[in-house]
Amino acid sequence: MEVINIKGTDDTPNVILDKENAQFEISGRSLPEDVNMFFEPIMDWIDEYAEDPLDKTVFNFKLEYFNTASSKVILDILLKLEEIVENDKDVVIKWHYHEDEEDMLEAGEEYADIVSIPFEYVILDD
Amino acid sequence: MSKKNKKIIKRLKKYFSVSFLSETELYVMSFFTVFLLFFTWAGVSSLTSGRFTINSIFYIHTKPFVWFIDFVILSLPLSFVFFVNYHKIKTAKLKKELNKLYDNSRQNVELAEKIGRGELDLDVKAADSKLSEVLLNLGQNLKHNQEKENVLNWISKGKDLISDILRSYNNIESLSIEVLKKIIEYNSAVQGAFYIYDGKGMLKNIATYAYGRQRFIKQEIPVGKGLIGETAYEKQYVFRTEIPDDYFTLTSGILGDRKPKGLLIVPLVQEDELQGVYEIAFISENVPEKVFTLAEELSRMIGQTIYNLKINKRTEQLLKESQEMTEILKKNEEQLKQNAIEMLEAQEQLEKSNKLLESQIQEVEHGRKKLQALLTNASEFISIYNERQQLLFESPSVKRILGYDDDDEDVRGMDPELLTPKGYRTINELFQYLLETPGGQRTAQYTYLKKNGEKLFLETRGTNLLHDPAIRGLIFNTRDITERKRAEKEERMKSRMQSLSENSPDMIIRINTSGKLIYVNPAVTVFVGVPASELVKKRISELKIDPRFIQFVKESLISIRDENKEIISEITITSSEGERVMEIKGIPEYNDDNDLESILFVAHDITEIKIIEQQLKEKNKKISDSINYAQRIQSSILPDTKSLQQHFPRSFIFYRPKDVVSGDFPWFFKKDDTYYVAAVDCTGHGVPGALLSFIGYFLLNNIVNTDKNYTAAEILDKLHYGVRKNLKQDQEGANGRDGMDLALCKISPEKGELQFAGAHRPLYLVRNGELIEFKGTRKGIGGTPLPRRVEKDFENNIIKYQKGDKIFIFSDGLPDQIGGKEERKKKYQARRIREALVEDPSHTMAYYSRFFPKDFFEWMGEEKQVDDVLLIGIEL
């Protein structure tokens, strides 16, 4: 599979999706003007990945900020990953947050409520 | 009469008894006494009166002396009787004592005889003399010792019996059953079983024996499990009288109701190492102590034997293996000997040929040195390869030519590692051709990586001289053609640039430092309408073209000369096609000594772009006008601080959209005596957010208008489904993610009641300087329903409020704002809001209405605003 490696900006996140090296990470800020356009190739990639995933997928979210529209896309990504879990493959979400950013932890917990994927919460160092 | 007197009388009687005298003796004694009396009286009478009569008898009795003599005579027989009796009594007494002593001694003799005969069940009552006591003790000790000896004899006999069996079997299976049989028999047990420890945590039952019959029950018991397993684990024998009903499956049928009452389980150990376990069952629960002592002895004895057997088995195995090994070694040794002889022969052969070779080498060495000197300094290098493409020879000059030092090793002119893929292919094709063409010759070019990483262009001429006996290889003459390549490339580039320039729609003019035109491209002719030949080699000031252009070039020359910097500017010039707006770049060009040599002017016609830019500006203005207008509409329907204060005098709305129009909006509604207030955050911001805000605004109005009894949570539920329906998110295939988060309060002052429901948003209630947080529901408004998931309803909070309670609701724009004074920009954080609210209980609403905007802008600093910001505070 091709590798997605998008460098982040002030408004868009860093995205690394690399099946070969088992790297899955979305980090930084996500408040693109058009959420759907930005995330479309990412969703397509994950759709394709879900067809033939690795035995274990560790997906890292290291988001500092995301807007409401992005939050829905993140949920879509998690729902797609949940399908992988339903096909008896391991998926772990590593949800990174800064210790003093309670809202990011809460956001993670809300996602964990919705999808049946194990979440690990990791405190980010500065 | 007193008792004492009676006793005295009895005693007197005894002493004065005359029973020892015969009747005759008594009469004789009485007669003799009377005679003596008369004789005496006659004597006395004769002395006094001379005559003896009755009267004289009376007469003499007037004298006391006669009475005394009478008394003496009468006491004589009495004294005699007394003496005789006294002796008699004394003798009787002595005789009695003598008899007693005799009895005692006779009994003791009997006792001693019994002890002598070994009859030790002695009667304790007999112990009434010191000697008897000693004898009795002696007897009891002897009895005790005998019992002890019996036990010891029993144990040692048992040990001997088992030991005999242990000696006579050297296989565990038959040993175990025989041992078990004997143990059962000897201990008067009824049944038993024997287990061997396999060293891997399992006990294997290898013998079971019950009532004289051998049984085979394959059973495995893990150490630590059950009675047997526990015993094995503890390595301590166990005697149990309470036996589980199902313990011996074997017995239930045979014994009927006579189940064993005692069970002894004994571990078999060797030096504290478990070897096995045996168990035996007894019909009675009273099992003598000696059985246990024997069991302890046997535990070690049998354990040792089993251990020995195991060791023997292993030793046998090892012995067998070692014998086999010896056999193999023996064979190998012979082989080795043979080999050594062969090797010795080969070595001798080798030494001979080495000597020959050395002398040959010496010869060749001289020739080689000569050649070396020639080749090291050649401007090309020669390589010879064999037909398998292996390098046979390469001139020493290869290192110098390829940019390596003399001490670098393994430098090869066609090192595949240092060739480009294309070069590698080229070389391979060259080899292929040469191998197929005897005597053939061909030239090829390839690139090579120098030591310093630079690219080297090489040209090699290969010749197939495999048939030549002097060479017997493919010979390659290779030289460095980098410089030639570079020159060729430059030439090519120049002509390409030329062609680019000739065909460019931009005007390109090169002017030297004195203002003379060196080059113009055809576009210049098109623009100024003067042929190129009339322009070249003339001074710019001499040209008959737009003076504005001439003026610009002159100024540029001065500026570039002074500052050595590229310039760019826009000017309008009159061309053959009328007024054109040109963007002109002046680029300084330097010679090899880094002196300014000429300036290249490139003028690009941006007239069209300018027009489009203008149009864009106009369009943009129209759009902003329209957005501004939209903003007026939006702000006209939305409440502001002033309108809120009409109902709640101490309140404020801090509202700061990111763009002109906003996705966040405050909402306020009053119906009868109920007030509704909400801080709403629609997905997105700007125009799309604003459009969504209208849907939210009017849906909320409609919902509360329909029924004022809806709780805050019910309003959110209705809004949720309303948004979903309006945006058609509930239809199949819908992909809408648009929706809103909000905090909604329903205030009923009459009841003093506040209801709160939140979609991802909380409510902060400040009472007497303390903050109470009501977290909203983890659910947003709107959005396509998630497949296979049940949606929860919003949670309603009912709060009895007090006068002076302050409530705050807000969108996430404020807590999410990036900023701060530190190097790493951070989010404002909800915590900062909470801390501000409890900082000082005396802070008023008016204070907060000033504080939050101020703090927000200070926090944001130079960062851009991330989202719409909305904060509503109300004092109830």
> Can you give the pLDDT at residue B374?
67
In this structure, the strands spanning A23-30 and B473-480 are: unpaired
| Cβ contact B477:B460 at 8 Å | yes
Same domain, B726 and B828: yes
Residue contact A68–B780, C-beta within 8 A:
yes
Q: What is the DSSP string of A18-69?
A: ETTTTEEEEEEEE--SSHHHHHHHHHHHHHHHHHS--SEEEEEEEEEEE-HH
Same domain, B99 and B27: yes
- Give rounded-to-5 percent helix, strand, coil for chain B: 50, 25, 30
Domain count, chain B: 6
Same domain, B794 and B771: yes
Over range A87-110, report the average pLDDT: 88
Nearest to B295 by CA among B282, B310, B311: B282
Over range A98-104, report the average pLDDT: 82
Sequence ranges of the domains in chain A: 4-124
Asked if the structure places residue B860 within a domain, the reply is yes
Please give the backbone phi and psi of residue A2, each rounded to the nearest 5 degrees, phi first: -65, 160
| Preferred mutation among B662, B727, B760, B834 to probe A, highest tally of A CBs within 10 A | B760
Please report the ipTM that was assigned to this predicted complex. Answer: 0.71
Asked if the structure places residue B97 within a domain, the reply is yes
Same domain, B317 and B443: no
Name every chain A residue with its beta carbon within 8 A of the beta carbon of B683: 67-69, 72
Please give the backbone phi and psi of residue B288, each rounded to the nearest 5 degrees, phi first: -60, 150
> Can you give the pLDDT at residue A15?
95
Residue contact B739–A68, C-beta within 8 A:
yes
- Give the whole-angstrom CA distance, residue B439 versus residue B427: 18
| Cβ contact A72:B737 at 8 Å | yes
> Can you give the pLDDT at residue B250?
45
Please give the backbone phi and psi of residue B141, each rounded to the nearest 5 degrees, phi first: -60, -45
| Cβ contact B187:B168 at 8 Å | no
Residue contact B815–A110, C-beta within 8 A:
no
Asked if the structure places residue B492 within a domain, the reply is no
Name the residue type at position B512.
Answer: N
Low-confidence ranges of chain B (pLDDT < 70): 1-2, 49-50, 118, 120-129, 211-218, 244-259, 372-377, 733-735
Which of B682, B783, B866 minimises the CB distance to A72? B783
Nearest to A15 by CA among A32, B24, B318: A32
B 586-605 residues with CB < 8 A to A: none
Same domain, B795 and B824: yes
Asked if the structure places residue B189 within a domain, the reply is yes
- Give the whole-angstrom CA distance, residue B257 versus residue B247: 14
Distance of residue B837 Cα from the nearest chain A Cα, in angstroms: 18
Asked if the structure places residue B147 within a domain, the reply is no
Name the residue type at position B327.
Answer: E
Nearest to A76 by CA among A119, A40, A31: A40
The alpha carbon of B812 is separated from its chain's Cα centroid by a whole number of angstroms, namely: 40
> Can you give the pLDDT at residue B214?
55
B421, B423, B424, B428: CA torsion to nearest 10: 140
Same domain, B356 and B447: no
> Can you give the pLDDT at residue B389?
84
Q: What is the DSSP string of B671-737?
A: ETTEEEEEEEEESS-HHHHHHHHHHHHHHHHHHHHH-TT--HHHHHHHHHHHHHHHTTTTSTT----
- Give the whole-angstrom CA distance, residue B166 versus residue B307: 12
Which of A35, A65, A79 minimises the CB distance to B786? A79
- Give the whole-angstrom CA distance, residue B543 versus residue B529: 12
Residue contact A101–B829, C-beta within 8 A:
yes
Distance of residue A103 Cα from the nearest chain B Cα, in angstroms: 8
Cβ atoms within 10 Å, residue B832: 20
Q: What is the CATH number of the domain that holds B867?
A: 3.60.40.10
Is B875 part of the contact surface with chain A (CB cutoff 8 Å)? no
Residue A71: which H helix or E strand, with range?
Answer: helix A68-86
Name every chain A residue with its beta carbon within 8 A of the beta carbon of B816: 65, 103
Name every chain B residue with its beta carbon within 8 A of the beta carbon of A10: 864
Residue contact B684–A65, C-beta within 8 A:
no
Same domain, B816 and B844: yes
Asked if the structure places residue B158 within a domain, the reply is no
In this structure, the strands spanning B191-197 and A119-124 are: unpaired
3-state secondary structure of B641: helix
Name every chain A residue with its beta carbon within 8 A of the beta carbon of B827: 64-65, 101, 103
Over range A22-37, report the average pLDDT: 89
Asked if the structure places residue B144 within a domain, the reply is no
- Give the whole-angstrom CA distance, residue B104 versus residue B375: 143
CATH assignment, A4-124: 3.30.750
Pure H helices in B278-401: 289-376, 397-401
Q: B334: which 2 tokens?
A: 């012979």
Same domain, B632 and B643: no
Q: B441: which 2 tokens?
A: 């010759």
| Sequence-separated contacts (24+) of B453-460 with Cβ below 8 Å | B454/B403, B455/B482, B456/B402, B456/B403, B456/B480, B456/B482, B457/B481, B457/B482, B457/B484, B457/B485, B458/B413, B460/B413, B460/B414, B460/B427, B460/B430
Q: Which residues contact B359 (CB under 8 A, 6 or more apart)?
A: none
- Give the whole-angstrom CA distance, residue B777 versus residue B302: 76
Residue contact A65–B783, C-beta within 8 A:
no
Same domain, B202 and B309: yes
B278, B283, B284, B287: CA torsion to nearest 10: -30
Asked if the structure places residue B659 within a domain, the reply is yes
| Cβ contact B766:B806 at 8 Å | yes
A→B interface, C-beta within 8 Å:
10, 29, 31, 35, 64-65, 67-69, 72-73, 75-76, 79, 98, 100-103, 106, 109-110, 113-114, 126
Distance of residue A27 Cα from the nearest chain B Cα, in angstroms: 15
Q: B588: which 2 tokens?
A: 């300084």
The owner of tokens 């610009």 is B552
> Can you give the pLDDT at residue B733?
67
| Cβ contact B220:B313 at 8 Å | no
The alpha carbon of B475 is separated from its chain's Cα centroid by a whole number of angstroms, namely: 67
Nearest to B736 by CA among A68, A51, A41, A111: A68
Same domain, B665 and B598: no
> Can you give the pLDDT at residue B123?
57
Residue contact A103–B867, C-beta within 8 A:
no
A106 pLDDT band (50/70/90 cuts)? confident
Q: Show which of B56, B81, B106 is a domain's final residue.
A: B106
Same domain, B589 and B665: no
Please give the residue range of the domain that contains residue B843. 639-875
Name every chain B residue with its beta carbon within 8 A of the beta carbon of A67: 683-684, 866-867
- Give the whole-angstrom CA distance, residue B669 versus residue B747: 10
Nearest to B673 by CA among B713, B626, B708, B646: B708
Same domain, B824 and B684: yes
| Cβ contact B372:B381 at 8 Å | no
pLDDT in tens, B691-748: 889 999 999 999 999 988 999 999 999 999 999 998 888 887 666 778 899 999 999 9
Q: Rg for chain A (alpha carbons), in Å?
A: 14
Residue B518: which H helix or E strand, with range?
Answer: strand B517-520
Q: In what order do the strands lie in the sheet with B507-512?
A: B517-520, B507-512, B596-605, B578-590, B567-575
Q: Show which of B84, B106, B128 is a domain's final residue.
A: B106
Name every chain A residue with its beta carbon within 8 A of the beta carbon of B830: 102-103
Q: Which residues contact B340 (CB under 8 A, 6 or more apart)?
A: none
